[in-house]
Amino acid sequence: MNTPSITTAQRIKAIVGGSIGNLVEWYDWYAYAAFAIYFSHSFFPDSDLNAQLMNTAGIFAVGFLMRPIGGWMFGSIADKIGRKKAMTLSVLLMSFGSLLIALTPTYKSIGILAPLLLLLARLLQGLSVGGEYGVSATYLSEMATQDRRGFYSSFQYVTLIGGQLIALGIQLILQKLLLTENQLENWGWRIPFVIGAMLSIIALYLRANLHETEAFENKKEVNEKKKGTVKELLKHPQALLTVVGLTLGGTLAFYTYTTYMQKFLVNTVQLTKEESTLISFISLFIFACLQPVFGALSDRIGRRPLLLGFGILGTLFTVPLLTALSTTTSMWGAFLLIMAALIIVSGYTSINAVVKAELFPSEIRALGVGLPYAITVAIFGGTAEYIALWFKKIGSEEYFYWYITGCILFSLMVYVRMKDTKETSTLDKDI
């Protein structure tokens, strides 16, 4: 049973507050991906569309390289001085990165400084998001009641996807109601980054008023030298390797069907920018709604069956789904194929946060969740777009489909060997 020091109202406020802050962080992060098709020419010399998108995707990938540093830095802060303070700091850093993108002049105005400033902004945002995942996953898992951890922690991906939905929603409004395509390409793409910086103020207020978790408060007497240190983390090699293995295939599939898919629909399927944005918006909205359903299911049947479902179906159907998608001529046919893929991926996204949190003790939980995850995402999630575009450039796009399949198969082998963390959860020792 949970101790009575945190009331139900406080718990709900914490879950909502933590989730909304997470939403704003991920909105800022995804605004870059959503509007890259409009601003890529502003930061790089005139060239063909694929080359400009590759340059922009390259900076997107470089931003991911900062995520391990963010996972280490903010994970340590969360384990040493509190989850709440770490989340507040991360959202401040993200807002500064968004404002920098919004205000940076074009390549024609300041030359090489333009892509360099864009790179700096993405490095700052990568640092922030690298810390955000581990800390918010830990916070939501620790604030949830014992019998509803899967359900509550699934809201991390609801808000993560929600951030992308808001970015796409703003894009649809600008595309269809407010601006012409020329206006979007000339200056309109800056609007979402200004909005992101403003939303961060709301998130900052919410996070500053959050309740700290019992798991952290109960371990305040633990030796400070053990809290949030890599040395202490390395005493849990099996948990570390499990995080890497279970993340590898899931993160690659997630970024393929969400972040990269908009460009895939334009570049490969030959849909218009407006059609690809609409498909992405509708499919992601349904995807977000599925997360609590799958999370609640894991509370009833365990985490491992969902991970096995993702691993098996992802290994069998990734190549057929992407091959069919690349040759479809129907906008709604493309939607159904993407939706089928996202249902499969939900077996991973809905519960991966709680599974990782259940592997580590409280004094290194945020670091343990965040650092190995960030390293894996930097290598496989952050490079997904660039690798996909590179395979397309050399005329072998189908190799990318097999690359995803191989990574999911690797994760499946981890799922087969791991125990169900619902039954062995370290979170049970905190209460």
CA 37 to chain centre: 20
For the chain, how many structural domains are there in total?
A: 1
Comparing 49-53, 166-170, 327-331, 354-358, the range with the smallest average pLDDT is 49-53
pLDDT tens digits for range 279-309: 888 999 999 999 999 999 999 999 999 999 9
Q: Identify the domain containing residue 47 by its residue range.
A: 14-210+232-429
pLDDT tens digits for range 185-238: 888 889 998 998 888 778 788 777 777 777 777 766 665 666 778 888 899 999
Residue count (the chain)? 431
Per-residue confidence (pLDDT) for residue 281, from 0 to 100: 86
Confidence grade of residue 50 (pLDDT, cut at 50, 70, 90): low
Q: What mean pLDDT value characterizes the chain?
A: 85
Comparing 19-28, 38-47, 328-337, the range with the smallest average pLDDT is 38-47
Residue 251 located in a structural domain: yes
Per-residue confidence (pLDDT) for residue 414, from 0 to 100: 94
Three state DSSP letters for 246-305 = HHHHHHHHHHHHCCCHHHHHHHCCCCCHHHHHHHHHHHHHHHHHHHHHHHHHHHHHCCHH
Token digits of residue 12: 């709900």
Percent above pLDDT 90 for the chain? 28
- Look at residue 48 and tell me whether its pLDDT is greater than 60: no
Q: What is d(CA 251, CA 65) in angstroms, rounded to the nearest whole number?
A: 15
Residue 1 located in a structural domain: no
Mean pLDDT of 12-34: 77
CATH code, domain carrying 362? 1.20.1250.20
Residue 407 located in a structural domain: yes
Residue 397 located in a structural domain: yes
- Look at residue 252 and tell me whether its pLDDT is greater than 90: yes
Residue 219 located in a structural domain: no
Per-residue confidence (pLDDT) for residue 126, from 0 to 100: 82
Per-residue confidence (pLDDT) for residue 4, from 0 to 100: 46
- Look at residue 357 and tell me whether its pLDDT is greater than 50: yes
Residue 222 located in a structural domain: no
Residue 221 located in a structural domain: no
Each residue of 327-362: b (16+ CB within 10 Å) or e? ebeeeeebbebbbbbbbbbbbbbbbbbbbbbbbbbb
Residue 99 located in a structural domain: yes
Q: What is d(CA 267, CA 352) in angstroms, rounded to the nearest whole number?
A: 31
pLDDT tens digits for range 171-185: 888 888 888 888 888
Per-residue confidence (pLDDT) for residue 223, from 0 to 100: 58
| Alpha helix segments (H runs only) across 328-360 | 331-349, 352-357
CA 392 to chain centre: 24
- Which is nearest to 365 in space by CA: 122, 119, 86? 86
Mean pLDDT of 341-362: 93
pLDDT tens digits for range 121-150: 888 888 888 888 888 888 888 888 888 889
pLDDT tens digits for range 383-404: 888 898 889 888 888 999 999 9
Token digits of residue 404: 């995803």
Q: Are 233 and 75 in contact (CB under 8 A)?
A: no
- Which is nearest to 158 in space by CA: 18, 17, 352, 23? 23
- Which is nearest to 323 in space by CA: 400, 246, 390? 400
